[in-house]
A and B are shown apart, each in its own frame.
Chain A
Amino acid sequence: MNSKLIMSIAVSASLALLAAPAQAEKVASGLDAKTAMIVKRDFLDKGIAKATRVNQDALQAACSKYVDNPPTKLKAKLEAAETAAIKWPADGQYMGDWQAGEKLAQSGKGMTWSDKAEDPAGGNCYNCHQLSGKEIAYGTIGPSLRNYGKTRGTGEDVQRYTYGRIYNAKAMNACANMPRFGHMGILTEAQIKDLVALLLDPESGVNK
């Protein structure tokens, strides 16, 4: 075998090595584009759920593209943007009525195409979290929040942190499963305060 041939094999091999990932990436981005086209075409308005809901914001797009694991830098950038957008209560109060909070936590309703615009949205909390000891039908997608206030205390820093976490869970973890209840207008400021109270009030079932 002459050296020229060896050389050319080596060159083509290294080219192939270079080309393979580039090609794969091209295919992948082609599929991403095709998926976006299909989703935009095949999802239609129904009731209050308009077709435009499939249009992603920067955060949704990044979490989808990177399958909930975006590069560190991008993740930090997304979290910073979400944090900056949190609207804190003007009155500086974070706690509402824990009993109203319990009711909200129980409800999984709101914003589906079978709900009406005027139907109040629930907090969906028990779908994913353990809260009051009395409710045995709780989900485990999120961490248990049993004794949340008891273990963390009820200081203003904890209140503020909790408010922010419910308002926009993505400010702390860009691709968290939890919806951005305040940011997306799912719950009102007063409702979020009720949920903060549910978690922190010593009288709440969460801490009993």
Chain B
Amino acid sequence: MAIFYQGDQMKNKQIHQAFMVLALSMSFAAVAAESAVTDSERIEQYREMISDGNPAEFDEMRGEELWKKPGGPKMASLEKCNLGKGAGVVKGAYAELPKYFKDTRRVQDLESRLLTCMTTLQGIPEEEITAKPFASAKKASDISSLATYVVGQSKGVKMKVSTKHPKVKESYEIGKRIFNYRAGPYDFGCSTCHATSGVRIRMQDLPNMRSNKKDAQIAYTGWPAYRVSQGLTRSFQWRLNDCFRQQRFPEPKFASEATIALTTYLAVSANGAEYVGPGLKR
């Protein structure tokens, strides 16, 4: 259940490690150096090597086009969509989501808000979007590409999700409970893999998102991400969906209150960190 892999953005550590490796292998203690490099460090080295040239950029391009192009039965673009910073404001919007929206009277994450805009502004029936909300090898997903575009516009912006609104506070509290909710044939919860520091599943380091602020920040700000194993850019709703699949849970409804609450919990845990996505993952 390797759900969130630790970031690709640990450059300083990388350089330090690379230097160590170099220094050690040049020394007479070359044999000892062999074991000084751990497999986790080798994986970090691999991630560093692929960090340049992220195909997620293509999904950002696709999403931007979709955002600006008139579409749906109403032949409207999404340029009037309010993502929480006013109609049409995309820059920095993702860093403040989830948020409470007065018009829908609920807390919404990015994808549920895009769903609102696509249905209200463009007139696309909700079921048409939610029937297949995730990209597949055969077919791209508009809502997913739109999300990739929007998150890219928060690159370099510090995460600041406010819990001042009581509804957001409540969403956070419910999300925390869902994180710890153990069920299904394997008794798994998110916490099974993501509540201990310094452990890994197979070769992948697992971030502790319950009590390690840095882990939570790195994990959250690296999504959405292009997954090289799938050759697709994956949204945050997809990330949660696939977590639950591997937890042997039934499927969470797309953009449901449960997934938004969990997102709120994780997003708040990442507050203060610079958003660096869309990322590039295994």
A: which residues have CB within 8 A of B?
Answer: 31-32, 34-35, 38-39, 41-46, 49-56, 59-60, 63-64, 67-68, 111-114, 126-128, 136-141, 170, 177, 179-180, 184-186
Across-interface contacts of A54 in B (CB, < 8 A): 181, 183-184, 249-250
Which of A43, A127, A140, A170 sits near B187, CB closer than 8 Å? A170
The 3 closest A-B pairs by CB, nearest first: A42-B258, A46-B251, A42-B256
Evaluate whether A127 and B251 lie within 8 angstroms (CB atoms) in the complex, with A68-B191, A137-B202 already known: no
Which of A34, A43, A137, A141 sits near B196, CB closer than 8 Å? A141
**Residue pair A111, B245 in contact (C-beta under 8 Å):** no
Evaluate whether A64 and B202 lie within 8 angstroms (CB atoms) in the complex, with A42-B259, A43-B249 already known: no
Evaluate whether A64 and B258 lie within 8 angstroms (CB atoms) in the complex, with A49-B248, A127-B202 already known: no
Across-interface contacts of A41 in B (CB, < 8 A): 256-258
Q: Shortest CB–CB separation between residue B20 and chain A, in angstroms? A: 20
**Residue pair B251, A55 in contact (C-beta under 8 Å):** no
**Residue pair A56, B257 in contact (C-beta under 8 Å):** no
**Residue pair B185, A185 in contact (C-beta under 8 Å):** yes
Across-interface contacts of B174 in A (CB, < 8 A): 31, 34-35, 38
In chain B, what residue has the closest Cβ to A169? B187
**CB within 8 Å of A: which B208-247 residues:** 244-246
Across-interface contacts of A138 in B (CB, < 8 A): 202
Across-interface contacts of B66 in A (CB, < 8 A): none
Known: A54-B181, A136-B203. 14 other contacts (CB 8 A): A35-B177, A35-B181, A38-B174, A38-B178, A44-B251, A49-B245, A56-B181, A56-B182, A64-B177, A68-B195, A112-B246, A113-B250, A139-B200, A186-B185
Across-interface contacts of A170 in B (CB, < 8 A): 187
**Can you list 8 A-B contacts with CB-CB less than 8 angstroms, sorted by A residue number?**
A31-B170, A42-B256, A42-B257, A42-B259, A44-B253, A53-B183, A114-B245, A128-B201
B: which residues have CB within 8 A of A?
Answer: 1, 39, 170, 173-174, 177-178, 180-189, 191-193, 195-196, 198-203, 206, 244-246, 248-253, 256-259, 261
Evaluate whether A141 and B258 lie within 8 angstroms (CB atoms) in the complex, with A111-B185, A113-B251, A177-B192 already known: no
**Residue pair A60, B183 in contact (C-beta under 8 Å):** yes
CA distance A195 to B267 in the complex (A): 40
CA distance A130 to B177 in the complex (A): 31
CA distance A67 to B181 in the complex (A): 9
Which of A39, A45, A137, A140 sits near B258, CB closer than 8 Å? A39
Most A Cβ at <10 Å: residue of B39, B180, B195, B259: B180
Across-interface contacts of B1 in A (CB, < 8 A): 127
Across-interface contacts of A42 in B (CB, < 8 A): 252-253, 256-259
Across-interface contacts of B202 in A (CB, < 8 A): 126-127, 137-139
Q: Shortest CB–CB separation between residue A75 and chain B, in angstroms? A: 15
